[in-house]
Amino acid sequence: MNELTIRINKKHSEAFSLTVDLLLPNRGVSALFGRSGSGKTTLLRCVAGLEKSEDGEIKLNGKSWQSANYWLPAHKRPIGYVFQEASLFPHLTAKGNLDFAIKRADSKRKVIDYADVIDLMGIAPLLEKYPHQLSGGERQRIAIARALLIQPEILLMDEPLSALDDELKHDILPYLENLCQRVQIPILYISHSIDEVIRLADYLVILENGKAVEQGATQAVLGKLPTTFTQHQDTSILITGTIIEQNNEWGLSTLHFDQHRMMIRQGDENIGDAVRLRVQSRDVSISLSEEDNSSILNRLPVVVDALIKDPQDPSTIMVRMLAGNTPILASITALSAQKLKLHQGQQVIAQIKSAAVLR
């Protein structure tokens, strides 16, 4: 009952149809991830009611927005929409833009307070400025605040960081992280960026050619062996854990996850904080020996779960291992896999360089 149902069958042309049947959580961030042209924006526009699929169904928390014989027009759907570029009214100050949203808001629904939005987005010093006096990142923070002040039941974000350079992206991500943890509504978040997915998404849908080829909890989906090896070098997994120790002398923190420990470079987090880390498959190697005579600090006892050959590059093998319930992927040469006689069920040591862990 309390979920987001998205069933779409939309034919754009002979060459492209979007056919999805999704049941998404009604809290947290669900990322729609896929290449350009895979149908991400079309999906979001169908949810928003900006496009109609013939026999679709859109339902949130038991309320139907579209069914066989019902269609709720776009302007009546309780959504906040954030586009790639902030589309603020140029003749209004930031505050004027926010006031516009407040007037449009449904007074019966309270998703977030004005003061909380200002605080979460860090925009108090920007309120009297006009859009042309703001940086791209500041404009986007105002646009996100405006979308929230509509008091929506769902937030739709179409690559909100894609128009920003890397430095601005880096600046705005913490605001987004706070927002995603704070609001109690579902957020559908389109992204091309594995970094954004790892930092923000609880749930992940991978779209390919208008079809959802994978969906599930982010960690589980990323931990599956890739079905195509085209983005092989970027294949990454997500590790979520808690900081339990800090070693200031060496600039390292100890992370606890799934009964394992890992040392990572110190960030600005404190003991007890939850962190999400990205580990690329190419930064993981495998050893059979318990002997610790390498420079690598993180040596996790794991079990080999599956192996797959790269059809495009016979020199490479992807190995999926389990550290408790956490999947770890290693991309190694086929020669090494043969030398180690790797096979399913084998106990091995996954070696992860502390310096290679990304966050």
Ligand X SMILES: Nc1ncnc2c1ncn2[C@@H]1O[C@H](COP(=O)(O)OP(=O)(O)OP(=O)(O)O)[C@@H](O)[C@H]1O
Q: Does 213 bind ligand X (CB under 6 A)?
A: no
Closest to ligand X by CB, 39 vs 226, is: 39
With H, G, I as helix, E, B as strand and everything else as coil, classify residue 187: strand
Closest approach of Cβ 189 to ligand X, in Å? 13
- Site track for ligand X across 84-123, x = CB under 6 A: ----------------------------------------
CB 277 within 8 A of CB 358: yes
CA distance 299 to 295: 10
Helix (H, G, I), strand (E, B) or coil at 236: strand
Minimum CB separation of residue 10 from ligand X in Å reads: 9
Q: Which range, of 9-17, 195-203, 227-235, 336-344, touches ligand X by CB under 6 A?
A: 9-17
Q: Which stretch binds ligand X (CB under 6 A): 11-19, 114-122, 268-276, 345-353?
A: 11-19
In the 8-state DSSP scheme, what is residue 53? -
Answer yes or no whether residue 56 interacts with ligand X by CB under 6 A: no
Asked if residue 211 binds ligand X (CB under 6 A), the reply is no
Nearest to 207 by CA among 4, 21, 13: 21
The reply on whether position 16 binds ligand X by CB under 6 A is: yes
Question: Which residue number, 38 or 280, has a Cβ lying nearer to ligand X?
Answer: 38
One-letter identity of residue 75: H
What is the SS3 assignment for 148? Answer: helix
Query: Residues 300, 352: contact at Cβ < 8 Å?
Result: yes
Nearer to ligand X, 87 or 336 (CB): 87
Q: How far is the CB of 183 from ligand X (least distance, A)?
A: 24
- Does 53 bind ligand X (CB under 6 A)? Our answer is no
Q: Is 191 in the site for ligand X (CB under 6 A)?
A: no
The residue behind tokens 């977030």 is 112
Q: Kindly write out the interface string for residues 22-51 of this chain, putting x where it contacts ligand X by CB under 6 A and - elsewhere.
A: ------------x-xxxxxxx---------
Instruction: Tell whether residue 71 is a contact of ligand X (CB under 6 A).
Output: no
The DSSP bridge pattern shows strands 274-280 and 3-11 to be unpaired
Residue whose CB is less far from ligand X, 162 or 240: 162
Token pair of 160, please?
């909100």
**Smallest distance from the beta carbon of 33 to ligand X, in angstroms?**
10
Residue 12 or residue 104: which is nearer to ligand X going by CB?
Answer: 12
Q: Where are the beta strands (DSSP E) in the chain?
A: 3-11, 17-25, 28-34, 57-60, 63-67, 70-71, 79-82, 154-158, 186-191, 203-208, 211-217, 236-247, 252-257, 260-265, 274-280, 284-287, 298-309, 316-323, 326-333, 347-352
